[in-house]
Structures are given as structure tokens and as C-alpha cells.
Amino acid sequence: MIDNKLIRNTGFVFVAGIVNKLFSLVAIAYTARVLGKADFGFYTLIGTFTFLFSYFGNFGIGPMTIKEISRNKTKVHELFNHIISLRLCLIVFSFPILILIVNLLDYREDIKYLILIAGFSSLFSTFSDSFNTLYIAFERFKVPSLISVLISFLSSISNILILYFGYGLKGIVMISFIGALLGAVVSGLWVRQRFFKYKFAFNFHIWKDLIYRSLPFSIVTFLQQGRMYLNILFLSKLPGPLPGEVAIGYYYPASSLCQVALMLSNSFRQAALPTMASNASDIKIIQRIINKSTKVLLFIVILPLIIFTTFFPEKIITIIYGNEYLPSASTLTILGWAYAFMIFNTPVTVALFAVEEIRGFIPWAILLFCINIALIVPLILNYSFLGVAIAFLISGIIDTVVRNYLLRTFLGIKNLKIGDVDKENIY
């Protein structure tokens, strides 16, 4: 029963992810060709700031929401009302921090302006994302999957049209802002009519407890996912062999292609978290899910990713982005292996998020983050965007060792037993 539900939910998210990535890949490839490597680098930089700023509106609350509601659905109304209010307030109160950071980093005035607009749109996207976590907690993946496909399609088409008519980078940011606003309105009305009538709630005692419970998720998520985006910020400001925007313009094409391979692992992560959280006390179920999913990811995603990025990087870059981005080919090979390790770690990561021992993961996450910083600075100074990829791969290898150590320490699972899974029960 658990396996069938997990397969069905993963399927919804995975199919939606495939469609979304296809739309996104077409839009990104077109954007790269139209803008050129320098402006495409600025486009990536703006997206990086948007992610990092929207992180403050999440603050680990998303995974905590899924975990808590999946365990106790009777308190969903009270809990969700406070969660959506808290997330929006965190975004509003964090906006001055974004202004300060952008000015301290001293980017061009027009780029500062676009970063602030993109950051403000995070207020609306955070509002919409809160409803997404609600559906995931109830393991109702069909509706958010369909909505995400629609949003991805409209966003990609809008970006292509904006570029086609010559509005450039500014046009993309403005249309994204409008899209986030419309998405918030539509998703808000939909949930009120089809789910329940939420309302904003302000209780600082409850908010304090929510932040305390979210803090482990917040720290670990930032140190894991934020690492990818902070690498781009370092690339934009450290004096390497190439100007920052050009280096980013070469790095991101390879990175965006490897992120396509994350579709299945991301789908599994979303579908598995509520299932693992609701069965966190049964280690046998957790181990079975880890074993099966690791084997599936290994043969369906990891091995093809390594083969294609190792043996055909030049052809892939040339076909999708054009000859102008051919220097990205070597980066694609390195990142292919780095993302392979990341995907391999996904089931273990979900298990660590689902159990109560996640706080024990924090010191290790901090250590891995510091190792990545220690590597990335000298490597960027000497090898520019290629150095970022090398640092990402080395830290990914160390990350794999650490996660499997934590799996043994916290859950008592000594090995994954990938080859011993019953063939009749594989997805």
C-alpha cells in the first residue's frame, strides 16, 4: 500500500517535472542565445538572488509543514494559518537585508534594480508555495503537479515572446513579477474554494515555536541547496581569469542541463517526505524505501547522466546552446559526476529530514559548507567557472561519505543493500 502510493505520487511529480524541465530548457536555451554570455550571466545572477531571498520566506518551514501536517492532519487549519502568515512576514522583514547586500556587492545600477524587483516577486511566490506544501502534506499531488505544468508553460512562452520582441533582460524580470502576482491570486482563490478557508493568524508564541521547529530544516536546506547558488555569487565577485558575468554565463548552461537530471530525485523527495515522516518510527519501512529508490535512481538517472556528460559534452552544449558556449563542455562533465552524487544521496537525505535526529546533521552540514568555501575561493581565482565545478564535485564526494555515516549513526542502517532488493517489489 505504501509502495503503491509512493509510486503514484512520485509519478505525478515526475511527469510534471519532465514537462516543466522541457519548457524551462527551451526557454533557457533561447534566452542564452538571444542575450549572449554576459547578459545571460546577469540573468543567472538575478535568479540566484531570487532563490536566496525566497529562502528567507521559507526558513525551513516548508519541510517542517509537510512533516508536521502529515503526522497530525487534525491540526491543519490552525497550523497552516500561522505558517502562511509567518512566511509572508519573514519575506517582508528580509527585504531590507536584500537591499543592503545588493548595494554592498556594488553591481551595476540597472542590475540592482532588476534584482530588487525579482526579490519583491518572491513575496507572491512564497504565498503560492505555501499552498503547494499543504497539498504535499496531504499527499494530494495531482493538483499541484497540473498547476506547476501550467505555470511553467506560461512562464516559458512569456519569456520567449518578451525576448523575441526585444525587451531583453528587463522584460523577463517584469513578466516574471506579473506572473508571480497572478499565480498568487489564482492559487489563493483555488485553495479557499477547493480545500478550506484559510485566514491570516498572528500569535508570536506559536510563531516562535514554528521557527524553533523549522530551524534545523532551515540550516540544513540552506547549507545544501544554497551552496549551489552561493557558488554563483562568488563567481560574480571574485577576480578570476574571466569577468564575473561571463564566467557565470559559461557555468550556468552546464549547471542547468545537469539540473534536468534532478527531476526524478526531486519528485521522489517531494513524494517520500510525508510517507517517511508518517512512518518514521518503523526503520524497516524507511530502509526499504531507501534501498528501492536508490537502486531505481542509480540505473534510471545516475548512470545515464554520467555516460552522456562524460562522453558527449561538446555535442550536448553545441546542440542546445550553440558554439558560443562550447567552453562549458568540460564543466558539464565535472558537474555530471557532481550531480550524480547529489542524486545518489537523495533517499538518505529524505530519511534524515523525516526523522527527529535531523539536528545531529547540522554540524556536518556546516562542515561541508566550510569545505566548499575553502575550495571554491582559490579554484575560482585560478580556474574561474571550471573551478566552481571542481569544488562542487569534491564537496559532493565528501557529502556522500558523511550522509551514509549519519545513516548508520542515526537510523542504524549500515548499508544500502542495493543489489539485494526483491525484484518483485521494485518500482
Domain boundaries, the chain: 2-425
Cα radius of gyration (the chain): 21
Residue 20: predicted pLDDT: 78
The residue with cell 549519519 is 406
Residue 426 confidence (pLDDT) above 60: no
Give the pLDDT confidence score for residue 311 in this predicted structure: 96
CA 38 – CA 35 distance, rounded (Å):
8
Q: How confident is the model at residue 48 (pLDDT cuts 50, 70, 90)?
A: confident
* Residue 31 confidence class, pLDDT cut points 50, 70, 90: very high
- Give yes or no for residue 211 having a pLDDT over 70: yes
Q: Which pLDDT belongs to residue 251? A: 94
| Cα angle, residue 229 at apex, residues 152 and 52 outer, rounded to 5° | 75
The pLDDT mean for the chain works out to 82
Mean pLDDT of 97-125: 89
pLDDT above 50 for 151: yes
pLDDT band at 197 (very low <50, low <70, confident <90, very high): confident
Q: Higher confidence at residue 228 or residue 335?
A: 335
